[in-house]
Amino acid sequence: MQHRTGCTATPAALLCLGLAACQTLPAPSTLPQSEQQALEQRGSDGSFKGAFDTAETFERFNDPRAVTYYERAAAVTPWTFHNTKAEEALGRIWTSGTLRHADSPHIDPAPVLRASWRRGERAYLAAANHGNPYAFHELATAYRQHGDAQQALRWDLRAMIYQRYPSRSSRLPDALAAQGDAVHPLVAHIQRRAARGDAEAQVDLGALLERGVGLPRDPAHALQLYQCAGEKGNVFGQYFAGLLLGRSAPGVEKDTEAAARWFARAEAQRFYMAAPSYWQKAVEPPFFLFSE
């Protein structure tokens, strides 16, 4: 999913503003009223592209109407993976209370929004639970900034399973190393919640066991936990059960047919990475090229 385009001008920007890619944008007040009306009309045509391009253009002008059009883009039907781009954008905006270009010297620096962590959290969670992998990292970062180590760990673990290796910023697995004969307190908390039947904690514990982070590696037990959570409707339990069965691991035999059934259940919950075109690539062996 390529949606971080840097300096590439969007179609709406070219149509409504006649600006070349990477050209410095003027302050909001310089956008003529007639162009604003044309832009809003484009954003109300019922398409994802119309709403999203309009939102991006307003955001470049530090115009809070960007939020309205990102919300429209997120709600467009029929639903596709593109909707998660708008959900992620809303998470970014509400978490920071700023629009993307608010720090430009050519844009009015006055804040146009009041940050709302709860709104940002809801938007990021919607994106993550629909399979947007960027939202995994952004949630982990946001939770760490808010002092919620348990939730930050959850999303670090989910990013780790998706990517097959820990992110540098998460500092896994060293951050969860056993303390003497006792497991790390965060790991112990997950174990207690999982034992009580908490589906989210069962996915967390499964991730720890699948990769041997903070606990001895046990992919077979991880699969049981994923499946238990998946049977309760947890989309990550369903998706991770599919990944583990599709990739195989010590103690887990590769079973593509069983994996496909779990992926189908996750896809039914709009988890777009569980679609065949995505999961069939995700279960392929990783290949590493080393230059001489």
What pTM did the predictor assign? 0.83
Work out the end-to-end distance of the chain between its first and last CA atoms, rounded to an integer number of angstroms. Answer: 31
Residue 119 in any domain: the answer is: no
What's the pLDDT at 13?
40
Please enumerate, as own/partner, the contacts of 14-19 that have beta carbons within 8 Å and a separation of 24 or more: 15/42, 16/42, 16/57, 17/57
Give yes or no: residues 85 and 216 share one domain: no
- Classified as helix, coil or strand, 122 is helix
Task: Count how many Cα atoms sit within 13 Å of the Cα of residue 130 in the half-sphere of its side chain.
Answer: 20
- What pLDDT is attached to residue 88? 97
**Which CATH number do you get for residue 153?**
1.25.40
Same domain, 155 and 240: yes
Is 149 in the same domain as 22? no
**190 within domain boundaries:** yes
State whether 236 and 183 are in the same domain: yes
Strand partners, 182: 179
> Which of 79, 114, 149 is the C-terminal boundary of a domain?
114
Q: What does the angle CA 191 – CA 197 – CA 201 come to, to the nearest 5 degrees?
A: 45
What range does the domain containing 195 cover? 135-274
62/168 same-domain check: no
> Could you tell me the mean pLDDT of each successive run of 10 residues in the chain, 292 residues long?
41 37 40 86 96 93 92 96 97 91 55 88 98 95 94 96 82 78 91 98 97 95 98 98 97 97 98 96 75 42
pLDDT (0 to 100) of residue 109: 55
| Total domains in the fold of the chain | 2
Separation between Cα atoms, residue 225 and residue 206, nearest integer Å: 6
- Same domain, yes or no: 105 and 235: no
